[in-house]
Amino acid sequence: MAIKPSDIYRSSRRPARWEGWVPTNTGNGFFMLSPKVEEVRIEDIAQGLSRKFRYGGQVGDITVAEHSILVTKIVEKLWPTSGRMLDGLLHDAAVAYTHDIQTPVRRFIKVSMPNGECVEWVELEKKINTVVGKALKLSPDFFSAPEVKAADILALCLEKAACPAIRDRNWGLPAIPDEIKGWTVQFYAPEAAKSAFLSRYVELSGRG
């Protein structure tokens, strides 16, 4: 007898309520809705960020991992005494476990938690980033430091300039400072982006 779709539905034993666990590359797993310090692995962050593309994958092949590396280099060039280079590398760490939801919609997204609470997506990202910061011994404000936020904007400027499809769009961005004018993105493939991200992490943290 041929298998029916209803046979699959009836044989499924998935829990009635999803608690937010997602698999990770190291096999450790991660609870997005209630993250724990012991679940954080730099290898998982590198894996996730190198497989997520900026701009929904619609414009060039710029991974979030490469974007993060670019942010660290901008901080290093413009504000070297701030000590915020490693912060810049991890500022989008939450995206490794969730997704790089584009700006026009992300501020309107809310998440229903298992306890009935409804939280904004940006608050969930902050929650994950806070746990990442504790696990990797970063400052509590690592993802929102002024130097990191400014470098994030300038990385966007450089990415926009490198992508013909959006180059001429008026997004109200600042001028690119002379110190980084001429910089561009490398459009790393995912494996190369992951390797570069981990190398930069070791370089900045001194931890293997």
Whether the Cβ atoms of residue 86 and residue 205 lie closer than 8 Å to each other: yes
Q: What is the residue-level pLDDT of the chain in tens, covering all 208 positions? A: 688 888 888 887 776 666 788 999 999 899 999 999 999 999 999 999 999 999 999 998 999 999 999 999 999 999 999 999 999 999 999 999 998 888 889 889 998 888 889 999 999 999 999 999 999 999 999 999 999 999 999 999 999 999 999 999 999 999 999 999 999 999 999 999 999 999 999 999 998 6
pLDDT value, residue 206: 92
Whether the Cβ atoms of residue 93 and residue 128 lie closer than 8 Å to each other: yes
DSSP 21: E
pLDDT value, residue 39: 96
Fold of the domain spanning 19-205: Hypothetical protein af1432 (1.10.3210)
pLDDT value, residue 15: 66
Whether the Cβ atoms of residue 125 and residue 98 lie closer than 8 Å to each other: yes
Alpha-carbon distance 17 to 22, whole Å?
A: 14
- Residue among 19, 13, 17 at smallest CA distance from 34: 19
Assessment of whether the complete model's pTM goes beyond 0.75: yes
- Helix, strand, or coil (residue 83): coil
